[in-house]
């Protein structure tokens, strides 16, 4: 009978030890980048839920609408968030029901509409975004100015190589 | 009337320029880490779809089952993948229908069952995983051994600081 074993959380892809073939520095880098990303996201997800009762998906949707005050079409939102239309529709419907998002006229197409934040939505998002920034700083700043700067520089090279637009 | 403006893809969170308050290196680092993560994931997502007609979610689910040959309960899979039970159920149902995953007995609980890869599922996953590794190497290796090693080292410090288990 196999022993009972608790699966290592996927939040830290390195926890299970390196899979076969991970002697290559590129593979180690990808697993470590994934681990850092997932640990940060998990921290931010938990804080967002505990402080504002909101999900990261919802926060991200509001962030996109905040960036585009003239509104976004549904399929633009889907593309920006890289989720299926169904998910965005459900999220948007709930935000509309809560009075944080509204459907507004599309100035380029009289038959269409866009999603926009309501004034209350803008105000609520601004509060959450300021707090989110403080969380990011409190999580990363202890690394020290020198490490932070080096990481920003090295990840900049990586980003360029990956063909960032 | 606002000018027509194409939203910058969320795949590169820095594309829109720094949001207000991003003078702090910690914020720059988080945006850049997100950008690198998203660019890599987008590349891997596209290749996985084009080469194997499969999604990353499906690949990740198979990866977890591959790591646990004795099988995983549904809620363990959900926790590992950090998605809702509903999503995992749908993914798993499709994999079962395709003969890549099967429901097997739970050795610890006669009334329960676990998800396991079928031999064909294991074989198919092994092929995809080997290709996935080669993609990661081809995307990251051009950065050069020295940059790769420095990044692995610095991200290791970050990971420890973020309290990796």
Which domains are delineated in chain A? Answer: 43-161 (1.10.10.10)
For the cut 50, the answer to whether the pLDDT of residue B8 exceeds it is no
Which of A77, A143, A150, A160 to probe by mutation at the B interface, max B CB count within 10 Å?
A143
Q: At what angle do helices B119-140 and A25-52 cross, to 10 degrees?
A: 100
Torsion, CA A18, CA A20, CA A24, CA A30, rounded to 10: -50
Residue A17 near residue B141, CB atoms below 8 Å: no
The mean pLDDT of chain A is: 85
Interface pTM (ipTM) of the complex? Answer: 0.80
Pairs across A and B, CB distance < 8 A: 204
Q: Which chain B residue shows the shortest CA-CA distance from A11? A: B80
Q: How confident is the model at residue A30 (pLDDT cuts 50, 70, 90)?
A: very high
Distance (Å, whole) CA A148 – CA B26: 7
pTM for the whole thing?
0.80
Chain A residue with minimal CA distance to B2?
A70
Task: Give pLDDT tens digits for B96-136.
Answer: 999 999 998 887 888 888 999 999 999 999 999 999 999 99
**Inter-chain CB proximity B12 and A164 less than 8 Å:** yes
The whole-angstrom separation of Cα B149 and Cα B153 is 6
CA–CA gap between residue A41 and residue A49 (Å, rounded): 12
Top pLDDT among B1 and A148 is at: A148
Q: What average pLDDT does this structure show over A100-114?
A: 87
């Amino acid at each position: 009978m196999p022993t009972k074993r608790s699966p290592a959380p996927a939040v830290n892809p390195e926890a299970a030890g390196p899979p076969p073939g991970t002697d290559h520095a590129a593979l180690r880098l990808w697993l470590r980048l994934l681990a850092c990303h997932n640990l940060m996201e998990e921290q931010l997800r938990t804080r967002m839920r505990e402080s504002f009762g909101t999900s990261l998906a919802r926060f991200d949707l509001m962030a996109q609408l905040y960036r585009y005050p003239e509104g976004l079409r549904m399929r633009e939102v889907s593309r920006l968030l890289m989720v299926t239309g169904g998910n965005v529709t459900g999220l948007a419907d709930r935000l509309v029901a809560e009075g944080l998002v509204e459907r507004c006229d599309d100035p380029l197409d009289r038959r269409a509409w866009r999603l926009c934040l309501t004034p209350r939505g803008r105000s609520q998002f601004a509060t959450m975004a300021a707090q989110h920034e403080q969380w990011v700083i409190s999580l990363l700043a202890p690394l020290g100015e020198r490490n932070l700067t080096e990481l920003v520089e090295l990840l900049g090279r990586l980003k360029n190589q990956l063909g960032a637009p």
